[in-house]
Chains A and B, each alone.
Chain A
Amino acid sequence: MTGSQSSLRGANRALVVETVKRYGGLTQVELTAATGLSPATVSSIVKELLAAGVVDTRSTIRSGRRAQLVTIAHRTGLAAGIDVGPRHLRVALADVTREIVAEQSLPLPADHRADTTLDRAALLVVDLLERVGTSLDDLLGIGVGLPAPVEPGTGLVTVRGVLRGWDETPVVHVLAKRLAKPVVVDNEANLGALAESRFGVARGYQDVVYVSVGAGIGAGIVLSGHLHRGFGGTAGEIGHVQVDPQGRICRCGSRGCLDTVVGYPALVEPLAVSHGALTVRDVVQRAADGDPGCRQVLADAGAVIGVVVAGMAMVVNPQCIVVGGELARAGDVLLHPMREAIARRVPLNQVAALDVVAGELGARAAVLGAVALVLETTDRAVATGGAQDAVDVGEPSGTTAGGAW
């Protein structure tokens, strides 16, 4: 009897925590309505969670009345992660335990410009801080992921033309000036690799390759627990490996890059005649619904990407290949042909088979990686000296913004 009562209580507690997380911050009255629990139950659960340090409460004003705003408790500050994709912007706030306390995504136009997008990103950071009832004072730093190779110290894109409209934008300085907080910038696939190897599906592995398959293709490499960026930040830029010598000219200037074969416009083009204009998201959705044409396109993409990743696996010899990005949601439709292509080309070693797995963090991989990068850097700056975890963020020359920290 008491067992079922306490399990009900536990379920209600989980519901309250889940609901607060979903909305960022809620008053107790709103929490009552959103959970469907009684005001008394909500009140006593909030009290309990407050005592346990799970939530924070503070006074606020809602429609002219005093109210208790309930937010997820965050210890010693928050880190902001910004993931700039080719067609989306995702901003998340997380506390030092890497728990996301608020997030927002925003669709972006094709070939969006650095000035507009960074302006919106900065405003979203401030907006999310307000949503969880705090301010910039609580922000430890900002991590940004770009879908291009970048110079970590300045946030400049190191290969001209691959991210149209962003050449010569020192992202670190633009955001640091705007928000007056430390800023770190890295490649989106590197951040995905960091996140998946730190607290995703590849945690515990020392040598990991993360393949981000979205509008473009990129890879992040973790070697002996360290993120390997390469001298110019272009390590893992497999989107620009040549796969078709007679192919089209890529944004980077070369011919027949992987991106020109399985990247965004190329991926949907073969479907234009039969299916009309589709987005990448449509293709993934329709493949999941069983559309044979969309499945075919994804399977072929998987096979081509598999060949390139196999080459990479020969060089790096990872324990595990993690596949993330928008197309990874297609699951085995994409992964199966990729696995086959890799298995055919990479010699099996006797120690352990090479795993090719879908990422665990989904669309959040890059923002979580950005958060991890911020926290690692600030941890080092504060010199708390805690034991380093399995993965170190590596030591790029001049990771941080300006000389401020």
Chain B
Amino acid sequence: MAAIPAPKILSVSQVNRLVAGMLEEYFSDIWIMGEVSNFKAYPSGHLYFALKDEESQIQAVCFRDSARKLKWKLEDGLLVIGHGRLEVYVPNGKYQIILDTIEPKGLGALQKAFEQLKKKLEQEGLFRQERKRPLPKLPKVIGIVTSPVGAAIHDMLKTLRLHKAHLKVLLYPVQVQGEGAAEQIAGAIAGLGRREDVEVIIVGRGGGSFEDLWPFNEEIVARAIAASRVPVVTGIGHEVDFTIADFVADIRAATPTAAAQIVAQGWHELEERFREVSSDLLNVMQERLFQEEQKVEELSRHRAFELVSRRISEISHQAEMQRAEMVNSIRSRLSGVTATVNSLTVRLSRQSPVAKIKGWQIQLGSLNSRMERSMTARRSGLSARLEGLAGSLNALSPLSSLARGYSICLKPDGRVVKSLSQVDVGEPVMVRVEDGKLGCEVKEKIKGGGNGK
């Protein structure tokens, strides 16, 4: 039988050192995944905890220098991925893993930090609805915290112009990403808040990666918003991006444009109201005038109006009837009167003085003719007598004396000379004889002598 070499007997220390050497050589650069358990942060800054899975666990350490680089905080129950190396503690033969990098599994480190700060501030009550302040309805001065270059400011100003004026904008230019951005943003919010004229603040930033938006997830910004004198509206990134600042803000708008819209909403509504009211004014007046027309139209068709018009036609019909009746009665009365008048005329004509006069005229005529007849008769009688008388008278007439030879001496004036005294010698006289006259002159006046008779 071959001799069995005597077994090499190692001391405990030797074993542990050998193990340490082997483990530390083979496990000097490994990634490990496990759930944090039994976490302890020491005042020195070192972090001690165990990483475990369903079946096993390993002690882990994160020394101060590595721990300081963590933006988020380790806690029990977190599933993490760590990078590091194994180290064996020779005195007790236990090994542990020294981690220089730890990332939350599933979430990025920033995401984790986000979750943690969110949780912390939520617990403090910073996101509570009661803390949210109403925005001024019609702000006159709006503070804006954003970068002076880029889409955000451009969009906000464009929107404010669109939703109109009445506004003054105070821009507090800040850096919105990178080192120091959070401090600037926090300072700007406080700075604008100190100005008495600023009534509302917009904190805005255009879209970017989660890392780009990071400053808005920092506690200093959240605190500044919470402490702001005036309400803060956030419009950070795009619709899907939520930052811690958004949670603390009095109003979270999806985008910078939306933030500007919300702030100017009151003005916008006022202007809309104005436009509506001014068109209402015209419409209501037109409507009124239309109604007036309708009223007139309706009235003209109204039953009462119809009744009135029927009544009018009735009345006019009645009036017509009455008129006809009256005309008839007048006519009949008139014909009665006419008859009366006629009969009266007849009667009257019978008693008329005309008739009497005629009668009288006839009487007169007959009297006249009777008178004439008797007159004629008398005249012819008288005439016969007159002729008889004339014959006898003739015998007595001086003219017949003349015929018998007598003459008559007449003065020029026609007086018959009957006495001497009537004439003077030399005076012309006319001597009338039967067949003419003799012009004579008194030659002498001889008294006495007469003619013997």
Q: Do A and B bind each other?
A: no
Mark A residues whose CB is within 8 Å of B. Answer: none
